[in-house]
Amino acid sequence: MPEGRIAIAMSGGVDSSTAALILKDAGWDLVGFSMQLWDRTRNLAGDEEIPAGGCCSPDDFYDAREIAARLDIPYYLVDFQKEFERTIVHAFIEDYRNGLTPSPCVLCNSLMKFDRLARMADEVQATHIATGHYARIQYDSLRGRHLLLRARDKGKDQAYFLFELSQDQLAKAVFPLGDLSKNQVREIARRHDLVVADKSESQEICFIPDGDYAAFIERNYDEVVGNPGAMNLFASGQIVDTDGKILGTHQGIHRFTIGQRRGLGVAHTSPLYVLEIQPDRNRVIVGERSQLSRVRCRVVRPNWISVAGLSEPLRVQAKIRSRHPEAPATITPTIDGNVEVIFDDPQPAVSPGQACVFYQEDVVVGGGWIDRDK
């Protein structure tokens, strides 16, 4: 029987519930934790229903509690709403206001879920922490490092969202689903009659289940950022082509992301895409698809996993957003401690603010954040 205790994050979904089941069946001593990160009733009118999808609904916590009771493990619901708003939602809003395209799920994993779960693990004398992520961990004795690997099921792999985890976090982390497919996970849940076996999952950012980022920012800016009256920073501005010709106007740069085609409000003989967002000039630059690709980008605030650091150029597969296929590239350290990425082939919609993650086969080398061109 395994020795030690595991603190496991339980969202009320099929993945975390099945992960808990697998660990319980393996003989681990478990303590379950759910994190209340966002109030789903926020911004709703009096008779408006809570939108479907996302997380942190009463039904989710009810399901998590029921699974914990079924597995006969202690269960705690912990309120982290203030920390989540200050750490994740504030950064999300400010990034959009500054013309960036944020990756809140990466920050949530590194700064909220794993950091807070590790703290709670210490409080219950747990030696490990577990989640329902589709990823794998191996210890490389030659390098003396804990490696983060992609999941066996490449269609569900979530290693991209975990690239900021530290060696200490990886040393404690357990991912029971890393060798399983989603179908296998659901089958295990059905075989054990878990009530969440066929529960649907959200594909959107958890605190914006309807996917309307602009409306969310406009509703929550004053309260979250704490700068009432600054909404004039979302004022209308110009939409221009690469020659500076004015093609139209916009109602705030927070409504745009690099590569966006729909909703530009500009008539043209061929489809136009957002090429660049200039917050200092409150301008959105658009152009044709052929103008969208980039052969290089600058990546800042890198975190290294399979190596201690980058001292010379390295061949990798680089992934510029979660649903984009990785592309062959060479990464080179810069004098300021950041990374220059040169792609073998131009990549479309390289978006400042998004995470760029580096792989060698299934191993995550590291990653960082795409910076705006200087």
Catalytic residues: 108, 206
Q: Which residues contact 271 (CB under 8 A, 6 or more apart)?
A: 261, 288, 289
Tokens standing for residue 352: 């400042």
Is 347:320 a contact under the CB 8 Å cutoff? yes
Amino acid at 324: H
End-to-end Cα, the chain, rounded Å: 56
- Local structure of residue 50 (DSSP, 8 states): P
- Helix ranges, 1-75 (H): 14-25, 58-71
Q: What Å distances lie between residue 99 and 90, 161, 281, 287, 373, CA to CA? A: 15, 22, 11, 17, 12
Q: What is the DSSP string of 286-306?
A: EE-GGGSEEEEEEEEEEEESS
- Do residues 94 and 116 make contact, with C-beta atoms less than 8 angstroms apart? no
Angle 127-131-134 from CA coordinates, rounded to 5°: 130
Beta bridge partners of residue 147, listed in sequence order: 138
Rounded to whole angstroms, the Cα distance separating 297 from 281 reads 22
* Interacting residues of 58 by C-beta distance below 8 A, sequence separation 6+: none
Eight-state DSSP code of residue 137? E
Residue 360 CB: number of other CB atoms within 10 A?
A: 13
